[in-house]
């Protein structure tokens, strides 16, 4: 039986063998692997790219103090971007399941419509949730738009829910029961995280300060976005730093939301604030890429 | 020689609910007179036909040329432009003309040209591109194409995919490359674990499901038919301890989230489910085990939500609704709740109805509804009951979203009906107030459904609110449309009958229904339509005379027997109406006056020279018109031509 990390190794190996760069997780908090620059920015423009990485994804509102066997404040996604999408992308995907030990002939696999959309990122795509014996194991998306920009190519994004897949492979009912490494349970590695961050996210995070931080990061981002036009050497311009600020804002929004601090009337407005930053960043990044190509 | 045709559009998995719509469009594809028959699985849209011609026939086209008077030069120029020799021109009247021979074309060529457009012309609710931005758009990527005319491949290309004679089997069980002919196509697919015909897959699901005790439901069967290529049903079990949870929650989890059929025994829900796989079997029980595991986790969640939710009563959640958006411009559900409570009061709802209205949306703040949104209302009702609210309150909350469709039933209690009514009415009024009325096919707030539900409640619960007092302006027009739609499309009344009753100024919908029922019963009787035709005439006479009532008349005032007879008939009908207070009897009595009305028009000239006689006759007609039109305005009844002719004699 494969441990959690064995499964991760095998998936990374599988995609490395198919020409993907194996990246390490991004070091700014994100709600999903999609938000990492390796996806959000790389899918823009005509340049081919293949990348796979594990991304710990933080969703403050999903925390359950470590008490729910399947719900986590932070879970690990294996994110794969294939740009352009190979014609046999689904066969390749099914191959990855075989590679981690799933004998497809003995299981039931279905592709059920599930289109992905992120209002805060101005992004959407068309795709499916992949169901294995009734369990959603992967989100499969053909990106169509990102940061409000229609994509030149329509890259395929595969997002594997690693905890679910591994718990399935190990046949355990609770993610905390699965083996991360030989003799080491998931709970030993992560349970404290889940408990403490649930307490923080739901109970103790300082709402006033979070609002101030949101404004500060927003201001920093806006300043960076505003400076691009007049900056002479475009390729040096720190648009990537601006994008980090977008991620900070997005995470603060999620935290405030989990804290119940965003009222109805504010909500739409705050989402728009973050989206404006994401869209602005995408636009500059695309322009920078174009200048570089020229 | 005639040829058979096969087109298979091989795709990645198409959303099940879009497939029937796409097939309907493909039945209209132009196959040179042959009738397309269509079929589909999630991965293929298939069009087949027999008897296509090998070529289209040769034909002639006459092209008109310059006038003969324009001279030889013009004629030569015309011939040259048409690519013909001037000697081929002939004279027709004052003009030259050219008969061009158009040779028929090979069907293969025609289809090679037309098929890509036909394929990419299918309208989908949402499309995507998958090669690049300038590439084709379709519902999901097209990965292979089989296009055959007889034994020849029709050469087409879409997004880099070229047609051929090679199909693909089931993703896991079948081969990935299967050469086919038109004759072998379906059986080759079957060998490769693809059942092409939807009806066959449907039948397999129903048969196997029933054998395992599944409580089959049509929508889910249809969904499963179109998300599988080779459906096979299996039975799974769950711990009976979960049966403590409400059956509504368990079935929602099974049906809506996991696409399982529930299983019922004599007592109720049984601790089993039936899942439909897209594969041929589960020899090692792995699929069963996997699905059981998922269901257990889902049920655990539900139990967790139930327990967490009980820590705060519904009544204590009203304030939390401030954080739940109803609509961006319309504020929160707290504000909506306040409006609905006020409306329930205004409509005469009792304390229980008001309490139900107050608590009706509180379940939106519960974990259970956040997870299982379809259960809004139902969960509120269950919680209210568990928290000791009166049965009248909990049931009203439980049912207040009903009816969800025209097939769904309305809330079963007076409290539920009034809360449902107020809730829908508020949504409609508010959305119309800020300009969110549906336009064309766009109806993002499902206002048509709300309006339709409102109509259904008013009619079926026999509530005596007058619609024209509940809604004003543009919304009234909108509602009137829905009322007509309901009575015509849902209830099957004839459109002119609906118009006739509404034109009589009836705004109490239960009353409209009673009148329509009576009218539909009396209408086929022999006197009715001719009388209705005479009514148009009465209307016209009154209109032309500009008469608006007021003359005092008695039977003795009338000289002719036909007049007196009609007067007596009028008195009789009025008496029947007052005595019976019953529409059918009154309408039947009205219809029975037809011979008298006919005789009157036959014998009597209304527009007599004497102003006194004329006024009396007009008054008689005026009263007939008034009394006979209270149930329905007969002049709205569309009568057959014969009846109209019969009525049209001296005066029109």
Q: Which tens digit of pLDDT belongs to each residue from B448-463? A: 999 999 999 999 999 9
Ordered by start, the domain boundaries in chain A are 4-200, 206-293
Helix/strand/coil for A67 = coil
Same domain, yes or no: B184 and B42: yes
Average pLDDT of the residues in A175-197: 97
CA dihedral sign, ordered B77, B81, B86, B92? negative
Range of the domain at B143: 2-55+107-191
Q: What angle do CA B278, B283, B284 make, to 5 degrees?
A: 110
Query: Considering only CB atoms, which chain A residues are within 8 Å of B328?
Result: 268
Contact list in B for residue A68 (CB cut-off 8 A) is 300-301, 304
Do B437 and B331 lie in one domain? The reply is: yes
| A154 close to A48: Cβ distance less than 8 angstroms | no
Please report residues of B whose CB lies closer than 8 A to that of A82: none
Of residues A110, A115, A144, nearest to B227 (C-beta)? A110
Average pLDDT over residues A152-179: 95
Q: Which of B191, B217, B245 is the last residue of a domain?
A: B191
- Give SS3 for A242: helix
The predicted model gives B230-256 an average pLDDT of 95
A19-58 residues touching B, CB cutoff 8 A = 46
What is the phi-psi region of residue B148: left when phi exceeds 0, alpha when psi lies from -120 to 50, beta otherwise?
beta
pLDDT 10s digits, B598-652: 999 888 888 888 888 888 899 999 998 888 888 888 888 887 654 444 333 444 3
Q: Residue B322: which of A71, A171, A264 has the nearest Cβ?
A: A264
A174 has pLDDT over 50: yes
Contact residues, A window 7-26, toward B, CB-based 8 Å cutoff? none
Q: Both ends of chain B: CA-CA distance in Å?
A: 64
Residues B330 and B433 in one domain: yes
CATH of domain A4-200: 3.30.930.10
Residue B529 CA to residue B543 CA, distance in Å, equals 21
Co-location of B89 and B129 in the same domain: no
Q: Is residue B498 part of a domain?
A: no
Ramachandran angles phi, psi of B131, nearest 5°: -90, -70
Closest residue in A to B321 (Cα–Cα): A264
| Cβ contact B282–A108 (<8 Å) | yes
pLDDT in tens, A36-61: 999 999 999 999 999 999 999 999 98
- Domain with residue B343: its CATH number is 1.10.3210
The residue among B45, B68, B102 that closes a domain is B102
The answer to whether B132 contacts A134, with C-beta atoms less than 8 Å apart, is no
| Strands annotated E in B170-231 | 178-179
Q: Is the dihedral of CA B425, B427, B429, B430 positive or negative?
A: positive
pLDDT band at A265 (very low <50, low <70, confident <90, very high): low
Predicted local confidence at residue A69, as pLDDT: 83
Residue A7 is classified by DSSP as H
**Binding-face residues of A in 222-261 toward B, CB within 8 A:** 260
* B95 and B175 share one domain: no
What pLDDT is attached to residue B642?
A: 42
Q: What share of chain A is helix, strand, coil (3-state, %, to 5)?
A: 50, 25, 30
Q: CB within 8 A of B295, min separation 6: which ones?
A: A134, B236, B238, B253, B254, B258, B260, B273
User: Is the CB of residue B275 less than 8 Å from the CB of residue B290?
Assistant: no
Tell me which DSSP letter residue B445 carries: T
Q: Which burial class, exposed, middle or buried, applies to B312 when counting CB atoms under 10 A from its CB (0-12, 13-18, 19+)?
A: middle
**A173 reaches B (C-beta below 8 A):** yes
B546: exposed, middle or buried (C-beta count within 10 Å: 0-12, 13-18, 19+)? exposed
What is the distance between the alpha carbons of residues B459 and B113, in angstroms, rounded to a whole number?
A: 55
Residues of B in Cβ contact (< 8 Å) with A94: 171-172
ipTM exceeding 0.85? yes
Q: What average pLDDT is seen over chain B?
A: 91
Rounded (5°) CA angle B39-B45-B46: 55
Confidence of residue B409 (pLDDT cuts 50, 70, 90): very high
B532 and B632 inside one domain: yes
> Phi/psi of residue B126, each to 5°?
-155, 135
CATH 1.20.58.180 for the A206-293 domain, yes or no: yes
Q: Are residues B163 and B14 in the same domain?
A: yes
Closest CA to B248 of B367, B378, B364: B378
Give the pLDDT band of residue A164 (cuts 50, 70, 90). Answer: very high
Per DSSP, the three-state class of B544 is: helix
Residue B487 resides in a domain: no
- Residue-wise pLDDT tens digits, B573-584: 989 888 888 899
Cβ–Cβ below 8 Å for B294 and A135: yes
**B171 and B37 fall within a common domain:** yes
d(CA A83, nearest CA chain B) in Å: 10
Residue A154 confidence (pLDDT)? 92
The answer as to whether B15 is a domain residue is: yes
- The pLDDT assigned to B607 comes to 86
For chain B, the helix, strand and coil percentages under 3-state DSSP, each to the nearest 5: 50, 15, 30
Contact call for B294 and A128, based on CB within 8 A: no
Residue B505 scores a pLDDT above 90: no
Q: Do domains A4-200 and A206-293 have the same CATH topology?
A: no
Among the partner residues B12, B297, B322, nearest to A263 by beta-carbon distance: B322
* Angle (CA) B285 B291 B295, round 5°: 145
Shortest Cα–Cα distance, B250 to chain A (Å): 16
Taking all residues of chain A, what is their mean pLDDT, rounded to a whole number?
A: 94
Min Cα distance A181 → chain B (Å) is: 23
In a domain, B172, yes or no: yes
CA distance A231 to chain B (A): 31
Contact B362, B376 (CB under 8 A): no
**B350 plus B371 within the same structural domain:** yes
Residues of A in contact with B132 (CB under 8 A): 46, 84, 152-154
Listed range (A106-110, B433-437, B456-460) with the worst mean pLDDT: B433-437
Q: Is A149 on the interface with B (CB under 8 A)?
A: no
Size of interface A-B (CB pairs under 8 A): 120
- Give the model's pLDDT for residue A291: 87
For chain B, how many structural domains are there in total?
Answer: 5
Identify whether residues B369 and B455 lie together within a single domain: yes
For chain B, say whether A142 makes contact (Cβ under 8 Å): yes
Who among B126, B128, B279 is closest to A108 (CB)? Answer: B279
* Three-state secondary structure call for residue A257: helix
Predicted local distance difference test score (pLDDT) of residue A140:
97
Count of beta carbons in the 10 Å neighbourhood of residue B69: 8
The CB-based long-range contact list for B149-155 (8 Å cut-off, 24+ gap) reads B149/B3, B149/B4, B149/B5, B149/B52, B149/B107, B149/B108, B149/B111, B150/B3, B150/B4, B150/B182, B151/B181, B151/B182, B152/B108, B154/B7, B154/B108, B154/B111, B154/B112, B154/B115, B155/B112
Is the pLDDT higher at A50 or at B328? A50
Q: Exposure pattern of B324-348 as b/e (b: 16+ CB <10 Å)?
A: bbbbeebbbbbebbbbbbebbbebe
- Residue A132 is predicted with a pLDDT of 96
Residue-wise pLDDT for B139-153, tens only, equals: 999 999 999 999 999
CA nearest B371 in A: which residue? A62
Peptide linkage before A84 cis (omega within 30 of 0):
yes
Spatial neighbors of B629 by CB under 8 A, at least 6 apart, are B504, B535, B635
Last residue of a domain, one of B191, B215, B235: B191
């Amino acid at each position: 039986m494969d441990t959690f990390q064995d499964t991760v190794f095998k998936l990374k190996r599988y995609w490395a063998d198919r020409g993907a760069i194996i990246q390490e997780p991004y070091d700014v908090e994100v709600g999903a692997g999609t938000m990492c620059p390796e996806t959000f920015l790389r899918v823009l423009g005509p340049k081919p790219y293949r990348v796979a990485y594990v991304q710990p994804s933080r969703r403050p509102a999903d925390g359950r103090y470590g008490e729910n066997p399947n719900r986590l404040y932070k879970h690990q996604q294996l994110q794969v971007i294939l740009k352009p999408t190979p014609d046999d992308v689904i066969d390749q995907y099914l191959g990855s399941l075989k590679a981690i030990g799933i004998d497809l002939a003995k299981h039931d696999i279905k592709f059920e419509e599930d289109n992905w959309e992120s209002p805060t990122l101005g992004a959407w795509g068309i795709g499916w949730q992949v169901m294995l014996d009734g369990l959603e194991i992967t989100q499969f998306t053909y990106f169509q738009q990102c940061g409000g920009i229609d994509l030149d190519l329509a890259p395929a994004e595969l997002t594997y829910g690693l905890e679910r897949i591994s718990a399935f492979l190990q046949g355990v009912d609770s993610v905390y029961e699965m083996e991360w490494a030989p003799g080491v349970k998931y709970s030993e590695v992560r349970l404290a995280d889940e408990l403490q961050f649930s307490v923080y996210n739901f109970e103790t995070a300082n709402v006033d300060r979070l609002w101030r931080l949101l404004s500060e990061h927003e201001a920093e981002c806006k300043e960076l976005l505003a400076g691009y036009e007049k900056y002479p050497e475009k390729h040096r311009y720190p648009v990537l730093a601006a994008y980090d600020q977008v991620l900070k804002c997005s995470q603060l929004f999620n935290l405030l939301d989990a804290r119940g601090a965003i009222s109805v009337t504010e909500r739409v407005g705050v989402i728009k604030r973050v989206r404006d930053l994401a869209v602005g960043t995408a636009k500059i990044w695309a322009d920078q890429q174009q200048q570089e190509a020229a | 020689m005639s040829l058979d045709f096969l087109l298979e559009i091989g795709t990645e998995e198409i959303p099940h609910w879009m497939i029937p719509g796409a097939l309907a469009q493909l039945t209209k594809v132009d196959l040179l007179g042959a009738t397309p028959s269509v079929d589909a699985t999630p991965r293929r849209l298939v069009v087949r036909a027999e008897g296509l011609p090998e070529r289209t026939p040769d034909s002639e086209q006459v092209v008109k040329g310059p006038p003969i008077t324009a001279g030889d030069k013009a004629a030569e120029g015309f011939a040259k432009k048409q690519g013909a020799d001037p000697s081929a021109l002939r004279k027709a009247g004052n003009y030259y003309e050219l008969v061009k021979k158009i040779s028929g074309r090979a069907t293969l060529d025609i289809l090679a040209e037309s098929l890509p457009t036909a394929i990419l012309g299918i309208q989908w609710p949402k499309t995507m591109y998958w090669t690049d931005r300038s590439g084709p758009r379709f519902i999901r990527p097209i990965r292979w194409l089989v296009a055959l005319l007889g034994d020849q491949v029709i050469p087409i290309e879409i997004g880099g995919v070229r047609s051929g004679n090679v199909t693909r089997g089931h993703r896991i069980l079948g081969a990935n490359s299967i050469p086919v002919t038109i004759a072998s196509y379906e059986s080759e697919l079957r060998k490769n674990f693809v059942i092409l015909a939807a009806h066959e897959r449907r039948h397999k699901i129903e048969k196997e499901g029933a054998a395992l005790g599944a409580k089959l439901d049509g929508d889910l069967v249809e969904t499963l038919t179109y998300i599988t290529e080779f459906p096979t049903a299996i039975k799974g079990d769950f711990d009976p301890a979960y049966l403590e949870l409400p059956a509504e929650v368990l079935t929602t989890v099974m049906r809506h989230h996991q696409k399982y059929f529930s299983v019922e025994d004599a007592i109720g829900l049984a601790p089993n489910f039936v899942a439909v796989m897209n594969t041929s079997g589960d020899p090692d029980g792995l699929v069963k085990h996997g699905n059981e595991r998922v269901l257990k986790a889902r049920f655990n969640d539900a139990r967790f939500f139930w327990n967490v939710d009980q820590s705060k009563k519904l009544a204590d959640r009203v304030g939390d609704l401030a954080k739940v958006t109803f609509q961006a411009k319309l504020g929160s559900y707290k504000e909506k709740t306040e409006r609905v409570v006020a409306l329930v009061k205004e409509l005469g709802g009792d304390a229980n109805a008001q309490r139900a209205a107050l608590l009706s949306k509180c379940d939106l703040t519960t974990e259970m509804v956040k997870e299982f949104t379809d259960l809004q209302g139902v969960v509120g009702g269950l919680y209210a009951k568990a928290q000791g609210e009166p049965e009248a309150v909990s049931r009203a909350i439980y049912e207040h979203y009903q009816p969800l469709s025209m097939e769904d039933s309305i809330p079963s209690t007076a409290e539920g009906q009034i809360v449902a009514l107020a809730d829908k009415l508020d949504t409609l009024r508010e959305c119309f107030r800020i300009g969110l009325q549906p336009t064309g096919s766009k109806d993002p707030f499902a206002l048509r459904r709300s309006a339709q539900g409102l109509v259904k409640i008013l009619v079926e619960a026999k509530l005596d609110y007058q619609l024209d007092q509940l809604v004003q302006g543009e919304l009234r027009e909108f509602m009137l449309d829905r009322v007509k739609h309901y009575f015509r499309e849902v209830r099957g009344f004839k459109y002119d009958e609906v118009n006739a009753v509404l034109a009589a100024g009836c705004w109490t919908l239960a009353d409209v229904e009673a009148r329509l029922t009576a009218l539909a019963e009396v209408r086929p009787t022999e006197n009715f339509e001719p009388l209705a035709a005479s009514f148009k005439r009465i209307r016209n006479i009154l209109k032309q005379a500009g008469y608006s009532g007021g003359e005092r008349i008695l039977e003795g005032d009338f000289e002719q027997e036909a007049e007196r007879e009609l007067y007596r008939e009028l008195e009789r009908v009025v008496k029947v109406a007052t005595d019976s207070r019953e529409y059918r009897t009154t309408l039947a009595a009205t219809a029975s006056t037809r011979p008298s009305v006919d005789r009157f028009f036959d014998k009597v000239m209304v527009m007599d020279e004497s102003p006194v006689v004329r006024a009396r006759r007009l008054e008689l007609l005026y009263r007939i018109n008034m009394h006979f039109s209270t149930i329905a305005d007969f002049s709205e009844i569309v009568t057959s031509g014969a009846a109209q002719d019969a009525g049209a004699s001296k005066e029109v």
